[in-house]
Amino acid sequence: MKLAFFDAKPYDRPHFDLLASERGFDIAYYDTRLDPGTARLAAGCEAVCVFVNDEVNAEVIDKLREGGARVLALRCAGYNNVDVRHAYGRLHVVHVPAYSPYAVAEHAMALLLTSVRRIHKAFIRTRDFNFSLNGLAGFDLHGKTAGVVGTGRIGRVFIDICRGFGMNVIAYDKFPAKDAGIEYVTFDELLEKSDVISFHCPLNAESYHMFGADAIEKCKKGVVVINTSRGALIDSEALLAGIKSRRIGAACLDVYEEESDIFFNDFSGHIMDDDTLARLISMPNVIVTSHQAFLTEEALSNIARTTVDNIFSILDEGACANELCYQCGKVGDCIKNRSGKCF
């Protein structure tokens, strides 16, 4: 088996190289992202591995299939960048639904603590031997209300972390988890009651820009917003306006809706073309990390092993529990009960 690996980064390779050696397959690493212009690089490969910012539209899928690909393996949970409907009958699409919910949830809390306790500002000060505490006053998380949007694996771990800090937790999810001991409310009620709002839901047509101008107007004044899920859940222009109007007290962003041409790259010597992102970063109450939440050694190891297992399950065993199909709606709701391939 030969695997074409797009948008490869130095931290990806050690774990995948180890598995390639163990299981006897070849990997062609490409630094470039997958798109209609680069799809030809996968010619002759049975499997193609992609990440969150690779473009897998109908044109790309057709080109991959013409080149001999049979499996499209996402080394991530989200798949909003893949035309799953067009892939049906052409490419088997597999993903990694759970690599480390702790990695993402812990990063979300790290962002929150850094923001409300001004740790990033204190670090910069003390590096210059400035030990003044002026302007560094934060607030206790204990007793505050955390609103969690999305209660899948990551959302529930984040809820547990919040409870450990003595926070009150309310949640919104279109599909509430039964018997989970979670207090579910409407989205509007969550906006109105929360001191902190954290997003842990997938991006789809319904959730696109769910946190826009109307939602921001319903929030408590000074609310802290965290997004470690998908950038387009938040309308960036509306968020910026909410910060400028002081409705938003702080924003902690690990994702950004126009991140695909920016994140994972070094633009430190260049002028930032994205004015919205540049203005967000310039705000004193905004912290931006570049889609870093997943990046732990444990998560990277789990991602590599699950991705490779997914590929061999399809190619050798004819079935994979992590296969995605537009007919199912979501993993776990399969009309074939995972007894075979989707097609």
pLDDT of 102-118, one tens digit each?
A: 999 999 999 999 999 99
Give the whole-angstrom CA distance, residue 214 versus residue 201: 19
pTM: 0.88
Q: Is the pLDDT of residue 43 over 70?
A: yes
pLDDT given at position 319: 87
pLDDT given at position 144: 98
Give the whole-angstrom CA distance, residue 17 versus residue 20: 5
pLDDT given at position 318: 84
Q: Which residues does the annotation mark as catalytic?
A: 230, 259, 291
pLDDT given at position 325: 83
Which domains, from first to last, does the chain contain? Answer: 2-99+297-324 (3.40.50.720), 101-288 (3.40.50.720)
Q: For the chain, report the end-to-end CA distance as a whole number of angstroms.
A: 21
**Average pLDDT across the chain, whole number:** 94
Q: Are 264 and 9 in contact (CB under 8 A)?
A: yes
Mean pLDDT of 181-190: 97
Cα-Cα-Cα-Cα torsion 102, 107, 112, 115, nearest 10 degrees, comes to 160
**Ramachandran angles phi, psi of 154, nearest 5°:** -70, -45
Q: Is the pLDDT of residue 260 over 60?
A: yes
CA nearest to 228, candidates 146, 329, 123, 158: 158
Give the whole-angstrom CA distance, residue 315 versus residue 320: 9
CA nearest to 227, candidates 185, 184, 181, 280: 280
Mean pLDDT of 142-158: 97
pLDDT given at position 25: 97
- Per-residue confidence at 337, pLDDT binned at 50, 70, 90? low
